[in-house]
Chain A
Amino acid sequence: MGFKEVVAATPKLAGQWQAGLGALRPQDKSHVTPEDTSTARLRGSVDIDSALTASDPNGNRWDFAIGYQHANRSDEYIYWVETHTGSDSQISLVLRKLAWLKTWLKGDGKKLAKFDKSFVWVPSGATSFTKGATQVRMLADQGLLYTGSVFKIPINHATAKLDNATHNRSRRRH
Protein backbone atom coordinates (compact mmCIF):
# COMPACT_ATOMS: atom_id res chain seq x y z
CA MET A 1 0.00 0.00 0.00
CA GLY A 2 1.11 3.51 -0.74
CA PHE A 3 0.83 6.64 1.37
CA LYS A 4 -2.71 7.43 0.17
CA GLU A 5 -4.07 3.98 1.03
CA VAL A 6 -2.35 3.82 4.41
CA VAL A 7 -3.74 7.26 5.34
CA ALA A 8 -7.23 6.01 4.44
CA ALA A 9 -6.70 2.97 6.66
CA THR A 10 -5.42 4.99 9.65
CA PRO A 11 -7.92 5.67 12.45
CA LYS A 12 -9.33 9.22 12.33
CA LEU A 13 -7.48 10.03 9.09
CA ALA A 14 -9.95 8.45 6.68
CA GLY A 15 -11.07 11.08 4.21
CA GLN A 16 -8.29 13.48 5.24
CA TRP A 17 -5.88 12.68 2.41
CA GLN A 18 -5.50 15.47 -0.13
CA ALA A 19 -3.70 15.53 -3.46
CA GLY A 20 -0.33 17.33 -3.74
CA LEU A 21 0.25 19.82 -0.96
CA GLY A 22 -3.49 20.42 -0.65
CA ALA A 23 -3.56 19.71 3.09
CA LEU A 24 -1.13 22.50 3.90
CA ARG A 25 -2.60 25.75 5.19
CA PRO A 26 -2.22 28.62 2.72
CA GLN A 27 0.40 30.31 4.92
CA ASP A 28 2.48 27.12 5.03
CA LYS A 29 2.50 26.34 1.32
CA SER A 30 5.28 28.83 0.57
CA HIS A 31 7.52 26.96 3.06
CA VAL A 32 7.52 23.62 1.22
CA THR A 33 8.55 23.19 -2.41
CA PRO A 34 9.28 19.97 -4.27
CA GLU A 35 12.49 20.27 -6.30
CA ASP A 36 10.70 18.46 -9.11
CA THR A 37 8.26 21.10 -10.29
CA SER A 38 5.91 18.49 -11.76
CA THR A 39 3.86 17.30 -8.80
CA ALA A 40 3.75 13.67 -9.96
CA ARG A 41 6.19 12.65 -7.25
CA LEU A 42 4.01 14.16 -4.55
CA ARG A 43 1.82 11.38 -3.19
CA GLY A 44 -0.45 13.67 -1.26
CA SER A 45 -0.61 15.28 2.16
CA VAL A 46 -2.58 15.15 5.41
CA ASP A 47 -3.28 17.90 7.94
CA ILE A 48 -2.64 15.83 11.07
CA ASP A 49 -3.22 18.78 13.39
CA SER A 50 -6.74 19.49 12.14
CA ALA A 51 -7.68 15.83 11.68
CA LEU A 52 -6.90 14.94 15.29
CA THR A 53 -8.08 18.11 17.04
CA ALA A 54 -11.39 16.56 18.03
CA SER A 55 -9.91 13.33 19.37
CA ASP A 56 -6.92 14.93 21.11
CA PRO A 57 -7.75 18.58 21.74
CA ASN A 58 -5.03 19.10 24.35
CA GLY A 59 -2.27 17.18 22.61
CA ASN A 60 0.77 18.91 21.11
CA ARG A 61 -0.29 17.77 17.66
CA TRP A 62 2.12 17.74 14.73
CA ASP A 63 1.26 19.75 11.59
CA PHE A 64 1.49 17.70 8.37
CA ALA A 65 2.55 14.53 6.64
CA ILE A 66 3.62 14.66 3.01
CA GLY A 67 4.05 11.50 0.93
CA TYR A 68 6.79 11.59 -1.69
CA GLN A 69 8.23 9.25 -4.30
CA HIS A 70 11.95 9.88 -4.69
CA ALA A 71 13.54 8.97 -8.04
CA ASN A 72 16.15 6.77 -6.36
CA ARG A 73 13.83 4.85 -4.03
CA SER A 74 11.36 2.08 -4.66
CA ASP A 75 9.09 2.93 -1.75
CA GLU A 76 7.29 6.12 -0.94
CA TYR A 77 8.76 8.31 1.79
CA ILE A 78 7.02 10.50 4.35
CA TYR A 79 8.09 13.98 5.36
CA TRP A 80 6.52 14.88 8.71
CA VAL A 81 6.59 18.67 8.55
CA GLU A 82 6.05 21.21 11.32
CA THR A 83 6.06 24.86 10.30
CA HIS A 84 6.80 26.82 13.42
CA THR A 85 8.62 29.95 14.60
CA GLY A 86 12.35 29.21 14.68
CA SER A 87 13.62 30.47 17.99
CA ASP A 88 15.12 29.15 21.22
CA SER A 89 11.90 29.73 23.12
CA GLN A 90 10.02 27.37 20.79
CA ILE A 91 12.42 24.43 20.99
CA SER A 92 10.78 22.76 23.97
CA LEU A 93 7.31 23.11 22.43
CA VAL A 94 8.40 21.64 19.09
CA LEU A 95 10.15 18.79 20.91
CA ARG A 96 6.89 18.11 22.80
CA LYS A 97 5.13 17.99 19.44
CA LEU A 98 7.76 15.55 18.16
CA ALA A 99 7.29 13.38 21.24
CA TRP A 100 3.52 13.44 20.64
CA LEU A 101 4.06 12.42 17.01
CA LYS A 102 6.39 9.56 17.93
CA THR A 103 3.83 8.28 20.44
CA TRP A 104 1.01 8.57 17.91
CA LEU A 105 3.12 6.67 15.35
CA LYS A 106 3.36 3.80 17.82
CA GLY A 107 -0.45 3.77 18.23
CA ASP A 108 -3.01 4.87 15.69
CA GLY A 109 -0.30 5.91 13.20
CA LYS A 110 1.66 2.63 13.33
CA LYS A 111 1.02 1.79 9.68
CA LEU A 112 2.38 5.17 8.63
CA ALA A 113 5.40 4.55 10.88
CA LYS A 114 6.48 1.76 8.56
CA PHE A 115 7.47 4.22 5.84
CA ASP A 116 10.99 5.65 5.87
CA LYS A 117 10.70 9.21 7.06
CA SER A 118 12.13 12.55 8.06
CA PHE A 119 10.84 14.80 10.81
CA VAL A 120 11.24 18.37 9.60
CA TRP A 121 10.92 21.70 11.38
CA VAL A 122 10.55 24.51 8.85
CA PRO A 123 10.92 27.93 10.51
CA SER A 124 7.92 30.04 9.60
CA GLY A 125 9.68 33.38 10.01
CA ALA A 126 13.16 34.71 10.66
CA THR A 127 15.28 32.17 12.49
CA SER A 128 17.74 32.69 15.28
CA PHE A 129 19.77 29.52 14.67
CA THR A 130 22.75 29.15 12.39
CA LYS A 131 23.31 25.86 10.56
CA GLY A 132 26.12 24.88 12.86
CA ALA A 133 24.32 25.97 16.02
CA THR A 134 24.31 23.68 19.03
CA GLN A 135 20.49 23.82 19.09
CA VAL A 136 20.32 22.46 15.54
CA ARG A 137 22.65 19.60 16.52
CA MET A 138 20.54 18.89 19.58
CA LEU A 139 17.41 18.74 17.42
CA ALA A 140 19.17 16.39 14.97
CA ASP A 141 20.00 14.15 17.90
CA GLN A 142 16.27 13.90 18.54
CA GLY A 143 15.70 13.02 14.86
CA LEU A 144 14.46 16.47 13.90
CA LEU A 145 15.85 18.24 10.85
CA TYR A 146 15.82 22.04 11.12
CA THR A 147 15.73 23.59 7.64
CA GLY A 148 15.85 27.01 6.00
CA SER A 149 12.61 28.95 5.62
CA VAL A 150 11.81 26.95 2.49
CA PHE A 151 12.09 23.19 2.68
CA LYS A 152 12.93 21.85 -0.75
CA ILE A 153 11.97 18.20 -1.16
CA PRO A 154 14.79 16.72 -3.24
CA ILE A 155 14.10 14.57 -6.32
CA ASN A 156 16.68 12.08 -5.11
CA HIS A 157 16.89 11.07 -1.49
CA ALA A 158 20.36 11.33 0.11
CA THR A 159 20.45 7.52 0.33
CA ALA A 160 19.16 5.49 -2.61
CA LYS A 161 17.02 2.48 -1.73
CA LEU A 162 15.86 0.49 -4.72
CA ASP A 163 14.46 -3.05 -4.74
CA ASN A 164 16.18 -5.46 -7.15
CA ALA A 165 13.58 -5.17 -9.92
CA THR A 166 13.65 -1.34 -9.89
CA HIS A 167 17.43 -1.33 -9.61
CA ASN A 168 17.78 -3.58 -12.67
CA ARG A 169 15.28 -1.51 -14.66
CA SER A 170 17.18 1.64 -13.75
CA ARG A 171 20.52 0.07 -14.82
CA ARG A 172 19.07 -1.06 -18.16
CA ARG A 173 17.87 2.49 -18.87
CA HIS A 174 21.43 3.78 -18.42
Chain B
Amino acid sequence: MLFPPPRPHRLKVENFGPIKSADVSFGNLTVFVGPQATGKSILLQLQKLLVDTPSIKKEFARAGVDWSGDYHGFLDVYFGEGMRSLLKPDTRITLNGSPVDLERQIREKRPHRQESMFFIPAQRVLALRDGWPSAFNYYDASVPFTLREFSEHLRLLMSDFGTEGTLFPVPRRLKAEFRDLLQDHIFPGFDLKIDTQRAQKRLVLASQDKDGGSLPVAVWSAGQREFVPLLLGLYWLMVSSKTPRRKGVNWAVIEELEMGLHPRAIAVVMLMMFELMARGYRVCLSTHSPQVLDAVWALQRLKNHGAPASELLQVFAVEPTAPMLELAEKVMQRNIKVYYFDREAGKTKDISALDPSAEEAGESGWGGLAEFSGRANEAVARAVANSNQ
Protein backbone atom coordinates (compact mmCIF):
# COMPACT_ATOMS: atom_id res chain seq x y z
CA MET B 1 0.00 0.00 0.00
CA LEU B 2 1.29 3.42 -0.89
CA PHE B 3 1.73 5.83 1.99
CA PRO B 4 -0.61 8.81 1.53
CA PRO B 5 1.18 12.08 0.78
CA PRO B 6 1.36 14.48 3.72
CA ARG B 7 -1.33 17.11 4.09
CA PRO B 8 -0.08 20.21 2.30
CA HIS B 9 1.64 22.52 4.74
CA ARG B 10 3.15 25.57 3.14
CA LEU B 11 4.71 28.39 5.11
CA LYS B 12 5.63 31.66 3.44
CA VAL B 13 7.46 34.34 5.38
CA GLU B 14 8.73 37.75 4.35
CA ASN B 15 11.04 40.06 6.26
CA PHE B 16 11.44 37.97 9.39
CA GLY B 17 14.85 38.30 11.03
CA PRO B 18 17.52 37.55 8.40
CA ILE B 19 14.89 36.07 6.06
CA LYS B 20 13.76 38.35 3.26
CA SER B 21 11.63 35.70 1.65
CA ALA B 22 11.02 32.06 2.55
CA ASP B 23 8.59 29.71 0.86
CA VAL B 24 8.61 26.21 2.34
CA SER B 25 6.31 23.30 1.53
CA PHE B 26 6.90 20.70 4.21
CA GLY B 27 7.22 17.03 3.23
CA ASN B 28 7.30 13.89 5.35
CA LEU B 29 10.93 14.86 5.75
CA THR B 30 12.04 18.47 5.36
CA VAL B 31 15.71 19.39 5.55
CA PHE B 32 17.05 22.92 5.96
CA VAL B 33 20.64 23.71 5.00
CA GLY B 34 22.53 26.98 4.85
CA PRO B 35 25.17 29.00 6.63
CA GLN B 36 24.91 30.09 10.26
CA ALA B 37 22.34 32.76 11.15
CA THR B 38 20.36 32.55 7.94
CA GLY B 39 17.07 31.87 9.74
CA LYS B 40 16.77 28.06 9.67
CA SER B 41 16.16 27.74 13.40
CA ILE B 42 13.89 30.77 13.77
CA LEU B 43 11.74 29.56 10.88
CA LEU B 44 11.34 26.20 12.62
CA GLN B 45 10.57 27.98 15.90
CA LEU B 46 8.03 30.13 14.10
CA GLN B 47 6.46 27.01 12.63
CA LYS B 48 6.13 25.61 16.14
CA LEU B 49 4.62 28.83 17.39
CA LEU B 50 2.04 28.69 14.61
CA VAL B 51 1.00 25.07 15.19
CA ASP B 52 1.28 25.03 18.99
CA THR B 53 0.20 28.52 20.15
CA PRO B 54 -2.29 27.29 22.81
CA SER B 55 0.06 24.74 24.37
CA ILE B 56 2.94 27.24 24.40
CA LYS B 57 0.81 29.83 26.18
CA LYS B 58 -0.38 27.22 28.65
CA GLU B 59 3.19 26.16 29.43
CA PHE B 60 4.20 29.79 30.04
CA ALA B 61 1.16 30.32 32.28
CA ARG B 62 1.85 27.12 34.21
CA ALA B 63 5.43 28.22 34.79
CA GLY B 64 4.34 31.68 35.95
CA VAL B 65 5.83 33.47 32.96
CA ASP B 66 3.88 36.70 32.74
CA TRP B 67 4.11 38.48 29.44
CA SER B 68 1.36 40.85 30.58
CA GLY B 69 -0.34 40.88 27.23
CA ASP B 70 2.73 42.53 25.72
CA TYR B 71 3.09 40.98 22.28
CA HIS B 72 6.74 41.94 21.88
CA GLY B 73 7.43 40.74 25.40
CA PHE B 74 5.95 37.40 24.39
CA LEU B 75 8.28 37.21 21.39
CA ASP B 76 11.24 37.82 23.72
CA VAL B 77 10.29 35.01 26.06
CA TYR B 78 9.42 32.65 23.21
CA PHE B 79 12.35 33.18 20.82
CA GLY B 80 14.76 34.27 23.58
CA GLU B 81 15.92 37.58 24.94
CA GLY B 82 16.36 40.34 22.38
CA MET B 83 14.62 38.38 19.64
CA ARG B 84 11.56 40.65 19.44
CA SER B 85 13.47 42.42 16.69
CA LEU B 86 12.85 39.44 14.40
CA LEU B 87 9.41 40.84 13.70
CA LYS B 88 9.47 43.97 11.56
CA PRO B 89 6.69 46.32 10.48
CA ASP B 90 6.70 44.68 7.05
CA THR B 91 6.85 41.06 8.26
CA ARG B 92 4.31 38.92 6.43
CA ILE B 93 3.41 35.33 7.32
CA THR B 94 1.21 33.11 5.17
CA LEU B 95 0.21 29.59 6.15
CA ASN B 96 -1.41 27.36 3.52
CA GLY B 97 -2.30 30.42 1.50
CA SER B 98 -3.96 32.36 4.32
CA PRO B 99 -2.30 35.40 5.89
CA VAL B 100 -1.47 34.99 9.58
CA ASP B 101 -1.89 37.82 12.06
CA LEU B 102 0.65 36.54 14.57
CA GLU B 103 -0.16 39.13 17.23
CA ARG B 104 -3.86 38.28 17.05
CA GLN B 105 -3.12 34.56 17.12
CA ILE B 106 -1.04 34.98 20.27
CA ARG B 107 -3.50 37.27 22.03
CA GLU B 108 -6.71 35.43 21.31
CA LYS B 109 -7.99 32.76 23.66
CA ARG B 110 -8.23 29.39 22.01
CA PRO B 111 -9.20 26.02 23.44
CA HIS B 112 -6.18 24.12 24.72
CA ARG B 113 -4.67 21.61 22.38
CA GLN B 114 -1.92 19.21 23.17
CA GLU B 115 1.51 19.95 21.77
CA SER B 116 1.73 18.89 18.13
CA MET B 117 5.39 19.64 17.36
CA PHE B 118 8.20 18.17 19.46
CA PHE B 119 11.35 20.23 19.15
CA ILE B 120 14.87 18.97 19.87
CA PRO B 121 16.92 22.18 19.79
CA ALA B 122 20.54 22.60 18.77
CA GLN B 123 21.41 23.77 22.31
CA ARG B 124 20.07 20.47 23.75
CA VAL B 125 23.32 19.75 25.58
CA LEU B 126 22.38 22.56 28.01
CA ALA B 127 19.37 20.54 29.13
CA LEU B 128 21.73 18.04 30.77
CA ARG B 129 24.32 20.55 31.87
CA ASP B 130 24.21 19.39 35.48
CA GLY B 131 23.80 15.71 34.66
CA TRP B 132 20.05 15.83 35.15
CA PRO B 133 17.40 17.70 33.13
CA SER B 134 16.16 20.90 34.69
CA ALA B 135 12.55 22.02 34.97
CA PHE B 136 11.10 24.65 32.64
CA ASN B 137 11.22 27.20 35.47
CA TYR B 138 14.90 26.62 36.14
CA TYR B 139 15.79 28.63 33.07
CA ASP B 140 15.43 32.37 33.06
CA ALA B 141 13.31 34.18 30.51
CA SER B 142 16.29 34.86 28.24
CA VAL B 143 16.38 31.19 27.16
CA PRO B 144 14.31 30.23 24.10
CA PHE B 145 11.08 28.38 24.80
CA THR B 146 12.11 25.38 22.70
CA LEU B 147 15.09 24.62 24.96
CA ARG B 148 13.13 25.15 28.18
CA GLU B 149 10.32 22.91 26.97
CA PHE B 150 12.71 20.23 25.74
CA SER B 151 14.41 20.15 29.14
CA GLU B 152 11.02 19.90 30.86
CA HIS B 153 10.04 16.95 28.64
CA LEU B 154 13.29 15.14 29.53
CA ARG B 155 12.65 15.77 33.22
CA LEU B 156 9.21 14.19 32.91
CA LEU B 157 10.63 11.31 30.88
CA MET B 158 13.09 10.49 33.66
CA SER B 159 10.25 9.66 36.02
CA ASP B 160 9.39 6.72 33.69
CA PHE B 161 12.74 5.14 34.44
CA GLY B 162 12.60 5.04 38.25
CA THR B 163 15.39 6.06 40.57
CA GLU B 164 18.17 3.67 39.64
CA GLY B 165 17.13 2.65 36.18
CA THR B 166 18.95 1.89 32.99
CA LEU B 167 18.20 4.25 30.13
CA PHE B 168 20.23 2.41 27.53
CA PRO B 169 20.07 -0.30 26.39
CA VAL B 170 16.46 -0.95 27.35
CA PRO B 171 14.31 -3.75 25.86
CA ARG B 172 11.25 -2.48 24.00
CA ARG B 173 12.79 0.98 23.67
CA LEU B 174 14.00 1.27 20.07
CA LYS B 175 14.40 -1.62 17.65
CA ALA B 176 17.03 -4.19 18.64
CA GLU B 177 18.97 -3.22 15.49
CA PHE B 178 19.19 0.41 16.67
CA ARG B 179 20.26 -0.65 20.13
CA ASP B 180 23.09 -2.71 18.67
CA LEU B 181 24.21 0.11 16.36
CA LEU B 182 24.14 2.71 19.13
CA GLN B 183 26.04 0.39 21.46
CA ASP B 184 28.71 -0.10 18.79
CA HIS B 185 29.05 3.47 17.60
CA ILE B 186 28.19 5.69 20.58
CA PHE B 187 28.30 3.75 23.84
CA PRO B 188 30.88 0.99 23.26
CA GLY B 189 31.22 -0.97 26.52
CA PHE B 190 28.88 1.30 28.47
CA ASP B 191 25.26 1.48 29.64
CA LEU B 192 23.48 4.76 30.24
CA LYS B 193 22.13 4.71 33.77
CA ILE B 194 20.60 6.82 36.49
CA ASP B 195 22.84 7.02 39.50
CA THR B 196 22.31 8.71 42.87
CA GLN B 197 25.20 10.62 44.34
CA ARG B 198 24.75 12.35 47.73
CA ALA B 199 20.95 12.17 47.29
CA GLN B 200 21.15 13.79 43.85
CA LYS B 201 20.12 11.78 40.82
CA ARG B 202 22.36 12.06 37.79
CA LEU B 203 23.06 10.33 34.51
CA VAL B 204 26.18 8.23 34.19
CA LEU B 205 27.78 5.95 31.65
CA ALA B 206 28.32 2.74 33.58
CA SER B 207 30.99 0.36 32.34
CA GLN B 208 29.70 -3.07 31.29
CA ASP B 209 32.90 -4.47 32.73
CA LYS B 210 32.21 -5.68 36.30
CA ASP B 211 35.27 -3.90 37.61
CA GLY B 212 34.65 -0.76 35.63
CA GLY B 213 33.31 2.45 37.13
CA SER B 214 30.69 5.02 36.22
CA LEU B 215 31.41 8.16 34.25
CA PRO B 216 29.53 11.39 35.01
CA VAL B 217 28.49 13.76 32.22
CA ALA B 218 31.55 15.95 32.71
CA VAL B 219 33.89 13.26 31.41
CA TRP B 220 31.77 11.96 28.54
CA SER B 221 33.02 12.53 25.02
CA ALA B 222 31.57 15.56 23.22
CA GLY B 223 29.59 13.22 20.99
CA GLN B 224 28.09 11.35 23.93
CA ARG B 225 27.16 14.63 25.66
CA GLU B 226 25.42 15.78 22.49
CA PHE B 227 23.81 12.46 21.74
CA VAL B 228 22.28 11.56 25.12
CA PRO B 229 19.72 14.41 25.13
CA LEU B 230 18.92 13.52 21.51
CA LEU B 231 18.42 9.87 22.48
CA LEU B 232 16.10 10.88 25.31
CA GLY B 233 14.19 13.09 22.89
CA LEU B 234 13.82 10.11 20.57
CA TYR B 235 12.54 8.04 23.51
CA TRP B 236 9.92 10.74 24.02
CA LEU B 237 8.83 10.42 20.38
CA MET B 238 9.10 6.62 20.06
CA VAL B 239 6.81 5.69 22.91
CA SER B 240 6.94 1.95 22.22
CA SER B 241 7.05 -0.36 19.26
CA LYS B 242 3.26 -0.85 19.47
CA THR B 243 2.44 2.88 19.64
CA PRO B 244 3.94 4.51 16.58
CA ARG B 245 3.57 8.09 17.75
CA ARG B 246 3.09 9.98 20.99
CA LYS B 247 -0.53 10.99 21.25
CA GLY B 248 -1.21 14.29 19.52
CA VAL B 249 2.35 14.80 18.34
CA ASN B 250 2.63 14.94 14.55
CA TRP B 251 5.84 16.87 14.02
CA ALA B 252 9.41 16.18 15.10
CA VAL B 253 12.07 18.86 14.72
CA ILE B 254 15.69 17.89 15.22
CA GLU B 255 18.29 20.59 14.86
CA GLU B 256 21.83 19.64 13.87
CA LEU B 257 21.55 15.94 14.61
CA GLU B 258 25.21 15.52 13.63
CA MET B 259 26.71 17.53 16.48
CA GLY B 260 29.84 15.95 17.92
CA LEU B 261 29.28 12.64 16.14
CA HIS B 262 31.55 10.50 13.98
CA PRO B 263 30.13 9.78 10.49
CA ARG B 264 29.28 6.21 11.52
CA ALA B 265 27.23 7.52 14.41
CA ILE B 266 25.61 10.14 12.16
CA ALA B 267 24.52 7.30 9.88
CA VAL B 268 22.80 5.58 12.82
CA VAL B 269 21.06 8.78 13.88
CA MET B 270 19.94 9.43 10.30
CA LEU B 271 18.48 5.94 10.19
CA MET B 272 16.59 6.81 13.37
CA MET B 273 15.19 9.87 11.60
CA PHE B 274 13.89 7.46 8.97
CA GLU B 275 12.30 5.46 11.78
CA LEU B 276 10.45 8.61 12.87
CA MET B 277 9.24 9.08 9.28
CA ALA B 278 8.16 5.44 9.09
CA ARG B 279 6.16 5.96 12.29
CA GLY B 280 4.26 8.74 10.54
CA TYR B 281 5.91 11.82 12.03
CA ARG B 282 6.61 14.79 9.80
CA VAL B 283 10.30 15.23 10.45
CA CYS B 284 12.13 18.56 10.05
CA LEU B 285 15.91 18.68 10.22
CA SER B 286 18.40 21.49 10.04
CA THR B 287 21.92 20.38 9.28
CA HIS B 288 25.45 21.40 8.40
CA SER B 289 26.41 17.83 7.54
CA PRO B 290 26.93 16.82 3.91
CA GLN B 291 26.40 13.24 5.09
CA VAL B 292 22.77 13.96 5.93
CA LEU B 293 22.23 15.15 2.36
CA ASP B 294 24.16 12.13 1.06
CA ALA B 295 21.57 9.97 2.82
CA VAL B 296 18.67 12.02 1.46
CA TRP B 297 20.18 12.01 -2.04
CA ALA B 298 20.59 8.23 -1.95
CA LEU B 299 17.03 7.78 -0.68
CA GLN B 300 15.64 10.03 -3.46
CA ARG B 301 17.60 8.28 -6.20
CA LEU B 302 16.87 4.76 -4.98
CA LYS B 303 13.19 5.65 -4.75
CA ASN B 304 13.14 7.19 -8.25
CA HIS B 305 14.82 4.16 -9.77
CA GLY B 306 12.53 1.68 -8.03
CA ALA B 307 15.42 0.05 -6.16
CA PRO B 308 14.60 -2.59 -3.53
CA ALA B 309 14.48 -1.45 0.11
CA SER B 310 17.56 -3.56 0.86
CA GLU B 311 19.64 -1.12 -1.22
CA LEU B 312 18.77 1.68 1.19
CA LEU B 313 19.93 -0.47 4.10
CA GLN B 314 23.19 -1.08 2.22
CA VAL B 315 23.85 2.67 2.35
CA PHE B 316 23.81 2.42 6.14
CA ALA B 317 25.69 -0.90 6.24
CA VAL B 318 22.74 -2.46 8.05
CA GLU B 319 21.60 -6.09 7.83
CA PRO B 320 18.30 -6.51 5.96
CA THR B 321 16.34 -7.94 8.90
CA ALA B 322 12.54 -7.99 8.57
CA PRO B 323 11.95 -4.91 10.80
CA MET B 324 14.63 -2.88 8.99
CA LEU B 325 13.31 -3.88 5.55
CA GLU B 326 9.84 -2.80 6.63
CA LEU B 327 11.25 0.51 7.81
CA ALA B 328 13.13 1.05 4.53
CA GLU B 329 10.06 0.17 2.46
CA LYS B 330 7.96 2.70 4.33
CA VAL B 331 10.58 5.44 4.05
CA MET B 332 10.95 4.90 0.32
CA GLN B 333 7.32 5.91 -0.09
CA ARG B 334 7.72 9.19 1.77
CA ASN B 335 8.05 12.62 0.30
CA ILE B 336 11.20 14.67 0.96
CA LYS B 337 11.89 18.39 0.62
CA VAL B 338 15.23 20.15 0.96
CA TYR B 339 15.63 23.92 1.27
CA TYR B 340 18.72 26.07 1.06
CA PHE B 341 18.83 29.30 3.04
CA ASP B 342 20.85 31.65 0.88
CA ARG B 343 22.49 34.33 3.00
CA GLU B 344 23.22 36.76 0.17
CA ALA B 345 19.71 36.69 -1.27
CA GLY B 346 18.01 36.25 2.13
CA LYS B 347 15.79 33.69 0.40
CA THR B 348 15.04 30.00 0.60
CA LYS B 349 15.60 27.87 -2.48
CA ASP B 350 13.98 24.52 -3.07
CA ILE B 351 16.89 22.16 -3.83
CA SER B 352 14.94 18.95 -3.27
CA ALA B 353 16.17 17.43 -6.55
CA LEU B 354 19.73 17.52 -5.10
CA ASP B 355 21.05 17.34 -8.65
CA PRO B 356 24.86 17.33 -8.50
CA SER B 357 24.96 18.47 -12.13
CA ALA B 358 22.50 21.34 -11.62
CA GLU B 359 23.58 24.62 -13.15
CA GLU B 360 22.47 26.45 -10.01
CA ALA B 361 25.45 26.32 -7.61
CA GLY B 362 23.14 26.33 -4.56
CA GLU B 363 21.69 23.02 -5.70
CA SER B 364 24.75 21.25 -7.12
CA GLY B 365 26.80 22.35 -4.10
CA TRP B 366 23.95 21.36 -1.77
CA GLY B 367 23.56 24.73 -0.15
CA GLY B 368 27.26 25.15 0.40
CA LEU B 369 27.75 21.76 2.10
CA ALA B 370 29.68 20.33 -0.87
CA GLU B 371 31.24 23.66 -1.86
CA PHE B 372 34.52 23.00 -0.09
CA SER B 373 34.90 19.53 -1.62
CA GLY B 374 34.18 21.05 -5.03
CA ARG B 375 36.91 23.66 -4.62
CA ALA B 376 39.36 21.08 -3.27
CA ASN B 377 38.70 18.85 -6.30
CA GLU B 378 39.16 21.76 -8.71
CA ALA B 379 42.46 22.83 -7.17
CA VAL B 380 43.84 19.29 -7.11
CA ALA B 381 42.71 18.56 -10.69
CA ARG B 382 44.43 21.72 -11.94
CA ALA B 383 47.61 21.00 -10.02
CA VAL B 384 47.80 17.44 -11.36
CA ALA B 385 47.02 18.54 -14.94
CA ASN B 386 49.86 21.07 -14.91
CA SER B 387 52.35 19.06 -12.90
CA ASN B 388 55.60 17.94 -14.48
CA GLN B 389 55.72 14.84 -12.29
Contact = CB atoms under 8 A, between A and B. Distances in A.
Contacts of B357: 86, 123, 126-127, 148-149
B315 interface: no
Interface string B342-378: 0000000000000111110000111000110110111
A157 to B, nearest CB: 9
Contacts of B359: 148-150
B384 A143 contact: yes
B356 A131 contact: yes
**Considering the complex of A and B, which 10 residue pairs feature the smallest CB-CB distances, nearest first?**
A143-B384, A132-B373, A131-B370, A149-B357, A143-B385, A145-B381, A127-B357, A140-B377, A140-B381, A140-B380
B287 to A, nearest CB: 14
A17 interface: no
28 contacts: A116-B386, A118-B381, A126-B355, A126-B357, A127-B355, A127-B356, A130-B366, A130-B370, A131-B356, A131-B364, A131-B366, A131-B374, A132-B290, A137-B380, A140-B378, A141-B380, A143-B381, A143-B382, A143-B387, A144-B385, A145-B377, A146-B377, A148-B356, A148-B364, A149-B358, A149-B359, A158-B378, A158-B382
A155 B265 CA distance: 43
B379 interface: yes
A131 B365 contact: yes
A123 B357 CA distance: 8
B297 interface: yes
Interface centre among A127, A129, A145 (most CB of B within 10 A): A145
B169 to A, nearest CB: 33
Nearest to A102: B385
Contact of A119 (B290, B364, B365, B385): B385
Interface in A115-168: 116-119, 123, 126-133, 136-137, 139-146, 148-150, 158-159
A56 to B, nearest CB: 22
B294 interface: yes
Interface string B313-345: 000000000000000000000000000000000
Given A150-B359, A158-B382, 9 more contacts: A117-B385, A130-B356, A131-B371, A132-B294, A139-B381, A142-B384, A143-B382, A146-B377, A148-B359
Contacts of A159: 382
Nearest to B364: A148
Interface of B: 290, 294, 297, 301, 355-359, 364-366, 370-371, 373-374, 376-387
B297 A130 contact: yes
A99 to B, nearest CB: 13
A49 B377 CA distance: 26
Given A119-B385, A123-B357, A150-B359, A130 B294 contact: yes
Contacts of A146: 377
Interface centre among B297, B365, B386, B387 (most CB of A within 10 A): B386
Contact of B377 (A123, A136, A150): A136
A118 B385 contact: yes
Contacts of A130: 294, 297, 356, 366, 370
A69 to B, nearest CB: 17
Interface string A96-109: 00000000000000
Contacts of A128: 301
Contacts of A143: 381-385, 387
Nearest to B301: A128
A144 to B, nearest CB: 6
A143 B381 CA distance: 4
A173 B324 CA distance: 66
A148 B377 contact: no
A119 B386 CA distance: 10
A1 to B, nearest CB: 19
A117 B386 contact: yes
B351 to A, nearest CB: 13
B382 A141 contact: no
Interface centre among B355, B359, B382 (most CB of A within 10 A): B382
A120 B385 CA distance: 10
A124 to B, nearest CB: 10
B123 to A, nearest CB: 28
A130 to B, nearest CB: 5
Contacts of A149: 357-359
